Chain A
Amino acid sequence: MTALLEVDAVDTFYGPIHILQGLTLRIEPGELVCLLGGNASGKSTTLKTVLGLVSPRNGSVSFAGEDVTRRPTSYRIRKGMAIVPENRRLFAPMTVLENLQMGAYLHGGGTKEDFDRVYDLFPLLHERRAQLAGTLSGGEQQMVAMGRALMSKPKLLLMDEPSMGLAPILVERSFEIIKQVHESGVAMLVVEQNANVSLSIADRGYVLSTGRLVLEGPAESLRENEDLRKAYLGR
């Protein structure tokens, strides 16, 4: 069976600086994979490479069996990727409804089913659809950001630090939602610093350190791993 996403021996540079060094990872359809790592380990660069915001010098990125290494971001989005960006990046002076419409930009602004699907998942968004996104609280903004990403009915949802800037109770809530979305059949790549929570819901995990893959495996075995515990779980 072909993987949904295959990143193969990718080298990514920012100018002369070598960031990702021969990174290889794959995500099967419907799988929830988390990508762990400390600061400056290359987590966000991995996402940017997957999305095509930066292009790798060597290696390839394949999505749904197709080599998309030289394709622009909009092509990859059209093929079924979606992202919840770091810090959410909502369109603050636009309403919740308009934000959702922008999520389905490549699909003509979203069908009724798309909206129903998102509103079923987040009933609060339906209630707040006429409110300006910038006036929502952090947790609500996170819901808008996820709803916006789900509007395009993605096959692969990328999440950049979903726990950032949220209260502990909202982090838990947020991961419940991630789990729920995953159970509906969407494959996910969750980039996180919060190893504990993300490993508790993930199928598999990768651990990055200074641009190299240092650990990979099923989530349970990673949770048992002594090195990882010392490095990220603080126990």
Chain B
Amino acid sequence: MSTDPTDPANPESPRVGVDEWVASHEQRRTHRSGFAGVVERELARVPSPAFYLGFGVAAAILPAVTSNGYVINVGVNTLLYMLLALGLNITVGYAGLLDLGYVAFYGFAAYGYAMLASPQFGLHWDTLAVIPLVVVATAILGLLVALPSRRLVGDYLAIVTLFFGELFATVYQNGESMSLLGFTKPHNITGGPNGIVNIDQFHVFGARIGALNYTAYYYVALVFFMVLLFAAYLVDHSRTGRAWRSLREDPLAAELMGMPVNRLKLIAFACGAGIAGLAGTIFAAVNTAVFASEFDFTSGLLIIVYAMLILGGAGSLGGVIVGALVVNVSLEVLRDPGHATWVFYVLIAATLVAKLRPWRWLAVIAAGTVGFGFAVHAIVSAVWPRGVHGQAAVGGVLGSGLSHWVILPSNPVTIGNVAFISLVLAVLVLTLLKGWAQKLAMIPTLYLAAFVWENRLVVEPSITRLILVGVILIVLMNARPQGLLGTSRVEIV
């Protein structure tokens, strides 16, 4: 039988000029087989609002399951992050406008609530009046920021909005003595570095949420989030939502279709800002105090919200939920040095397993690193006993194993800093090497990494948890560039 693909006598071969491939593309779709395939297909049939509803129900039961105040507190925080990510998802995810001043809207609204419901100006307005007022004001602020920037795209827009964000923080940081262009007496508007404290709890017609009643705020945030989530879902499937997406994909083509490009950008900015504004009012009431430094660039809030959006998948509503959950829960888990240590070693092991081929090299490197460690430990304890007197941060089996493997000097600061720099250099050298030399060089580098972790990084959790979340983000983005729930991008070629 002929195997020439152009032979018309061979019915199996594709024929020239007949587009059978396209006609039969549905049959050519591959399906995962077995149980996983069945689950995948059934899940694909469930409409996405059902998942959102499922999340809402699960979140609503949480306070009934646990009475642990810490868990509820983290829950309130996570819901605030979800609201923030939801707003950012409209500006960045849908409309594709890189807004780096986003957190300023959150801060503006938090201060807005604080000014209207605290002893700062002696105002104690009803929450039902304050929230709409502040949200609308924040949306208008978003509009005003977008107005001069509507012709800017990409990095230029990012720089202008970043400037606005910093401007906001600086003005509020120094707002304890403000006058109108020098014409009026200076007034204390924002409380300056002392912020505004003793902010009222939410109160509606005299009924108020008790102080530290996180469960109540949890439900307030959850209800707002669910309502806005479904609103965002409807908008995404509306004419405006599609227009935002087409604007993100190709602004020129969008304009050629007659879309009011500038107006769409302004609406996206205002919607995002308004949602951030709502989150800001809840934030102010939960914490009963606001400080400008919580909203500037160095607070890391902007980076965290972006990390949530990117991790979940920009433009995906489910991604907003998952991204905020993963990032915020990781950040909480990593507060504890013991947990962080586990995450650190599991991450390294997982990366090695995922990336090292062939398998025998994995075995060589794993065995080599373990052996190398015990050898170094034995030599150091014989030569310089004080070098192994320290304690591992993690307890249990891992801890006792580590204290026989890693060198733990009693005073690790200087040597730890030197090792940190050496580690950076070692990783650079590693990228320059090739083949077996690179694989062998991994053994001391891995050991050095463990040494730096145990002696330097683990004692500073506030820094390391951000580093670790960054590493998680990098690893995940390598595996899924579109984010966990994002749809992969298709480029027209």
Contacts and interface: CB of A to CB of B under 8 A. Distances in A.
Interface of A: 51, 53, 73-74, 76-78, 83, 85, 87-94, 98, 101-103, 105-106, 108-109, 132-135, 137, 140-141, 148, 152
11 contacts: A74-B259, A89-B252, A91-B245, A91-B250, A93-B249, A98-B246, A101-B242, A102-B242, A102-B243, A105-B239, A106-B258
A89 B491 contact: no
Given A92-B249, A102-B243, A53 B257 contact: no
B257 A77 contact: yes
Contacts of B57: none
B492 A74 contact: no
B18 interface: no
A134 B260 contact: no
Contact of A90 (B252, B258, B260, B492): B492
A172 B22 CA distance: 20
Interface in B239-282: 239, 242-243, 245-246, 249-250, 252-260
B360 interface: no
B254 A134 contact: no
B491 A102 contact: no
B489 interface: yes
Nearest to B239: A109
A102 B253 CA distance: 10
B490 interface: yes
Contacts of B259: 74, 102, 105-106
A105 B492 contact: no
B179 interface: no
Given A73-B255, A89-B252, A91-B246, 16 more contacts: A51-B256, A78-B258, A85-B256, A87-B492, A90-B253, A91-B253, A93-B487, A93-B489, A94-B249, A101-B242, A103-B257, A105-B259, A106-B258, A134-B490, A134-B492, A148-B257
Contacts of B252: 85, 89
A108 B243 CA distance: 11
Contacts of A148: 257
A142 to B, nearest CB: 12
A137 B258 contact: no
Nearest to A52: B255
A133 B239 CA distance: 18
A94 B258 contact: no
Interface in B6-51: 22
Interface string B459-493: 00000000000000000000000000001011110
Contact of A102 (B254, B489, B492): B254
A134 B454 CA distance: 49
A43 to B, nearest CB: 16
A93 B490 contact: yes
A172 B208 CA distance: 74
Interface string B202-242: 00000000000000000000000000000000000001001
- Most B Cβ at <10 Å: residue of A87, A94, A108: A94
Given A88-B492, A93-B489, A134-B490, A83 B249 contact: no
A92 B491 contact: yes
Contacts of A51: 256
B490 A92 contact: yes
A53 B252 CA distance: 9
Contacts of A108: 239
B258 A77 contact: yes
Contact of A141 (B22, B249, B254, B492): B492
Contacts of A74: 255, 258-260
Given A77-B257, A102-B243, A89 B250 contact: yes
A135 B22 CA distance: 11
B493 to A, nearest CB: 9
A218 B254 CA distance: 34
A74 B249 CA distance: 18
Contact of A135 (B242, B260, B490): B490
B486 to A, nearest CB: 10
A94 B257 CA distance: 15
Given A132-B490, A134-B492, A89 B253 contact: yes
A53 B258 CA distance: 11
- Most A Cβ at <10 Å: residue of B22, B239, B490, B492: B492
Nearest to A81: B258
Interface in B273-314: none
A137 B249 CA distance: 19
- Most B Cβ at <10 Å: residue of A77, A87, A105, A152: A105
A85 B252 CA distance: 9
Nearest to A152: B258
A102 B246 contact: yes
A106 B258 CA distance: 7
Contact of B246 (A53, A94, A152): A94
A103 B254 CA distance: 9
B250 to A, nearest CB: 5
A101 B240 CA distance: 11
Contacts of B242: 94, 98, 101-102, 109
A85 B258 contact: no
Contacts of B258: 73-74, 76-78, 105-106, 152
Contacts of B490: 92-93, 132, 134-135
A85 B246 contact: no
A137 B246 contact: no
A105 B243 contact: yes
B249 A85 contact: no
A141 B242 CA distance: 19
A157 to B, nearest CB: 12
Contacts of A105: 239, 243, 257-259
Contacts of B254: 102
